[in-house]
Amino acid sequence: MSQDNITIFEHDNGVTHFHHRTFTVNIFGNKVYTTVTRRASVVRKWIYKIRYDHRFRRDRLVVGLGVQWRPPMSNKVATPQLCVGRQCLIFQIIHSNSIPLVLMRFLANDFITFVGVRNQIDSYLLRRDYNLAVDRVLELGSVADFLRGASMETMASEILDFHGIKKPRWIGRSDWDNWWLSKDQVQYACVDAHLSLEIGKKLNVWSILF
């Protein structure tokens, strides 16, 4: 998924191992620190940090959300991804040892708005496969009515002025249930969640909803 304005770097800092990898994905100058894990303990730590870092606006938090699976859609969701600020989590839930209660509560928190592009089925799939309820899901095309039904690439171009983004179909339809995600997959998932968040912020979705 090579693009001039999007790059990915995998950290080799002593914590890279089979259960926990870290990356920096640079998206049009935004450096997004990305954690890829299948361990509930790492997910738990990530959410605790997010809750602490955003404790003064916890009741109006906006989170970029996306899910990936290996086609067809009858297969289980493999990796939900969350993005808050410059922090992204890619949870290989299909390989997880357990699903932490703090994640269940985070997704079901009715003060948190989860945003995405063409994400109408994300919450359905998470409930179908893992009994995870996402209380407040917002499809960004319903806010930017003039872009209703538009692709992520179009919305990023029109709303964020991020031109030339490509989400290769072959990555979107790749084997997301692989034990070891490729850099292309990590970048794809991070870009999806981060752009959803940035579009939501630009559209000021919190003020619209409340």
The C-alpha atoms of residue 14 and residue 31 are separated, in whole angstroms, by 21
Most distant pair of Cα atoms in the chain: their distance: 47
Per-domain boundaries in the chain: 6-209
Percent of the chain residues topping a pLDDT of 90 = 75
* pLDDT mean across residues, the chain: 91
Give CA angle at 165 (121, 207), nearest 5°: 55
Average pLDDT over residues 128-147: 90
77-109 pLDDT, tens digit per residue, is 999 999 999 999 999 999 998 999 999 999 999
Count of CB atoms within 10 A of residue 159's CB?
20
Q: Which residue has the higher pLDDT, 12 or 165?
A: 165
Sheet holding 77-84, edge to edge: 6-10, 20-27, 30-37, 87-91, 77-84, 62-69, 113-116, 137-139
- At residue 2, the pLDDT reads 46
pLDDT in tens, 8-48: 999 986 555 667 899 999 999 999 999 999 999 999 999 99
CB contact at 8 A, 24 and 32: yes
Phi, psi of 20 (to 5 degrees): -160, 115
Instruction: Tell me the one-letter amino acid at 126.
Output: L
Chain position carrying tokens 């992520």: 152
User: In the CATH scheme, what architecture does the domain 6-209 have?
Assistant: 2-Layer Sandwich (3.30)
Examine the pLDDT at 1 and tell me if it is beyond 50.
no
Q: How far apart are CA 199 and CA 204, in angstroms?
A: 9
